[in-house]
Structure 1
Amino acid sequence: MEIMKIAAIAIGGVIMASIVKHFKPELSLYVALATVMVIFLMALDKLTAVFQFLENIYGQMTYGKDFFPIIVKVLVVAYLADFTSQLCKDAGEGAIGSKVELAGKIIIFYLSMPILFAILELINSIL
């Protein structure tokens, strides 16, 4: 199973970062970042399969095609903002991580405005 490989890499990275921290504390961050990037690249393979699945669903949709790309963009922004925020916090830069989260939320709200507008138009037409 893929998660077993990821867990093994994560545990190995934590152990290596802990060992390196005792000798060269400034290098332990790079060990952690390299571990995170390897894990991310392993998950990226599965992510491409998810996007292919979403592309197939999009091709079969008859209603809501205008909103589907917006929802996908929102998901991408949410995952990237969370991933980047966690990296910043792991590096000891919690303030930067918090601002990345805030920026992600603002961008998600901005991206979702057409959906909100469509809902308000629908409500207005019903009333």
Structure 2
Amino acid sequence: MDMDIFRIAAIGLCGVVTASMVKGYKPEFAIYVVITTVLVIFIMILNKLTYVFEFLGDIYNQITYGRNFFPIILKVLAVAYIADFTAQICKDSGEAAIAGKVELAGKVLIFYLAIPVIMSVMELINKMLPS
């Protein structure tokens, strides 16, 4: 079993405790503790993320059908994760309105990225239906 999750959990809990203590003295600095904690955790998982992208690249090189859609799927996943990550930081900062707009922007971008897939599915359905 990989022990990284225990280190990440410990850093996350230390960040929460530190942010809570800082809020008592200087509430405006608590967000810096949160952002620093998030960045440290992100850096810790960066090599795992690199491995995931290498794995996805290997899959892409092996598939023959649907190659055009694979990059779209990856972009959609990236937009979803980035939008969620950013919205969570905004919510943690007490900025729910900004978080909501980030989530909305993510959804719009996902729909925009999915248009070629939707069009292909509609063309396929059109071909299958008798005219």
TM over 0.5: yes
Structure 2: distance between partners of 1:44 and 1:100? 23
Structure 1: distance between partners of 2:54 and 2:66? 18
2:75 matched to which residue of 1?
A: 73
Deviations 1:17-44 (A, max 9, x none): 1111112111111111100111111122
Structure 2: distance between partners of 1:25 and 1:89? 15
2:88 matched to which residue of 1?
A: 86
1:40 matched to which residue of 2?
A: 42
Deviation at 1:80, TM superposition (A): 0.2
| Identity level (%) | 61
Letter aligned with residue 118 of structure 2: L
Name the SS for the 1:66 alignment partner: coil
Structure 2: distance between partners of 1:48 and 1:32? 24
Select which of 27, 30, 43 maps to 1:28.
30
Structure 2: distance between partners of 1:70 and 1:117? 13
1:120 equivalent in alignment to 2:122? yes
Structure 1: distance between partners of 2:7 and 2:104? 32
Give the ranges of 4+ consecutive aligned residues of structure 1 lying more than 4 Å apart after TM superposition.
Answer: none
Name the SS for the 1:79 alignment partner: helix
**What root-mean-square deviation, in Å, do the aligned CA atoms of Structure 1 and Structure 2 show?**
0.8
1:105 matched to which residue of 2?
A: 107
Unmatched 5+ residue regions in structure 2?
none
Correspondences of 1:46-57 after superposition (within 5 Å):
46-57=48-59
Aligned length: 127
Unmatched 5+ residue regions in structure 1?
none
Deviation at 1:87, TM superposition (A): 0.5
Letter aligned with residue 33 of structure 2: V
Which stretch shifts more, 82-91 or 17-26?
17-26
